[in-house]
Amino acid sequence: MNDSPIEKLLAAIDGLDLDAVMALVAPDVRVLVVDGRRAEGADAMREVLEEFVGTLRSTNHRITARWHVDDVWIAEMEASYELRSFMQIESLPRAVVLREGPDGIAELRFYGAHEHPVNEHDTGKEWGNLVRGRWIPPV
């Protein structure tokens, strides 16, 4: 499986090469990224990727497990990023589900596992901070 579409995709992403990424996808590709945004079509996908890549100095994905059934490829991985600000984020757990079509990647879903717990979700109505599950008002 060293030449899987997931490995080709991740190599292009890690190279910050949007043209190489877009060469792999079908014109009507559907995408879901870890922050919940969706894109339908190659142009919309490029916009999402341009925004993502624009925040990065570098990125690296290391596949830790993989599966392939019919036209579906699945991989678990660790993602590391260096942001334009030089901040480094290491070993974020990720999963990707990719479905191939006759014109390239037809569906692509990235999932992440570093989100905040649901009870720490900021609805925009809170002022202050959650500390160990308790709301602390601002001083």
| Closest of 92, 36, 84 to residue 64, by C-alpha | 92
pTM of the model: 0.79
The pLDDT profile of the chain, 139 residues, written as one tens digit per residue, is: 568 999 999 999 999 999 999 999 999 999 999 888 899 999 999 999 999 999 999 999 999 999 999 999 999 999 999 999 998 989 899 999 999 999 999 999 999 876 655 455 555 444 555 566 665 555 5
- What pLDDT is recorded for position 21? 97
Instruction: Please tell me the distance from the alpha carbon of residue 102 to that of residue 127, in angstroms, as a whole number.
Output: 51
Give the SS3 label for residue 51. Answer: helix
Instruction: Please tell me the distance from the alpha carbon of residue 139 to that of residue 128, in angstroms, as a whole number.
Output: 8
Query: Side by side, which strands form the sheet with 72-83?
Result: 38-40, 25-32, 104-112, 88-101, 72-83, 56-69
Query: Are the C-beta atoms of residues 128 and 136 closer than 8 Å to each other?
Result: yes
Query: Are the C-beta atoms of residues 66 and 94 closer than 8 Å to each other?
Result: no
The domains found in the chain, sorted by start residue, are: 5-116 (3.10.450.50)
Query: Where is 93: in which H helix or E strand?
Result: strand 88-101
